[in-house]
Homo-oligomer: A and B are copies of this chain.
Amino acid sequence: MKQEKAVVVFSGGQDSTTCLLWALTQYEEVYTVTFDYGQRHIEEIKCAEEIAEELNVPFKVLDMTLINQLSANALTRSDIAVTDAADGELPSTFVPGRNHLFLSFAAVYAQSIGARHIITGVCETDFSGYPDCRDVFVKALNVSINLAMDTSLEFQTPLMWLNKAETWKLADDLGALDFVRTKTLTCYEGVRGDGCGECPSCVLRKNGLTTYLEEKQGSVAQ
């Protein structure tokens, strides 16, 4: 079953780490790529690098700071303070179509190193509000990327139809529930593992874990 090379779009968060662990069971050679766009990212990139190192997979950072040239404030006025995403709103440097650009770069990178599969942890279930995280978009991009480079690349989205509880179950099925729980960083406050426990990202993660553990206990008890 294990065959071919794959590139995992990897941020060191719960979702992409679960994708990475999944990919390691599916592909012979696995590479990771992360995007540095200059936001709240030093700690995330460090976390991602450490996980990649522990799992012994190559880790590449692509500098994507240029997308900030396209953000609302870069295009209009330069004196707007850059807000972060901690309050649950889109930051003022948010760029529509950003995931389109990231996945496109990941595909060009994959092609450059001879990898046929690109794995991304995007998910429609806990819908993020980003149209470029939808399944229909990923499939359309897959077509245009292959036409662009005359290739047969395949985007893989193992989490597309899972909710957070099911994503925890996948990590558990991979024998890595504790690994994902303790090593990853999803918290807006930059606290690894269970995080601050209060930001929207921590709440979503915690609720998913609680649901999964209750279901697991229930099915064991039956």
Contacts and interface: CB of A to CB of B under 8 A. Distances in A.
Given A64-B66, A101-B104, A148-B132, A112 B96 contact: yes
Interface stretch (A10-18, A134-142, A173-181): A134-142
A95 interface: yes
A8 to B, nearest CB: 17
Contact of A63 (B66, B107, B150): B66
Contacts of A137: 144, 147-148
Interface stretch (A44-52, A68-76, A81-89, A189-197): A68-76
A13 B149 CA distance: 24
A147 B143 contact: no
A203 interface: no
Copies of this chain, how many? 2
Interface residues of A, number: 38
A140 B107 CA distance: 16
A113 interface: yes
A96 B112 CA distance: 8
Interface in A86-112: 95-97, 99-101, 104-105, 107-109, 111-112
B136 A97 contact: no
A97 to B, nearest CB: 5
Contact of A131 (B62, B75, B101, B150): B150
Contact of A66 (B62, B104, B132, B144): B62
Contacts of A111: 96-97
Interface of A: 62-66, 69-72, 75, 95-97, 99-101, 104-105, 107-109, 111-113, 131-132, 134, 136-137, 140-141, 143-145, 147-150
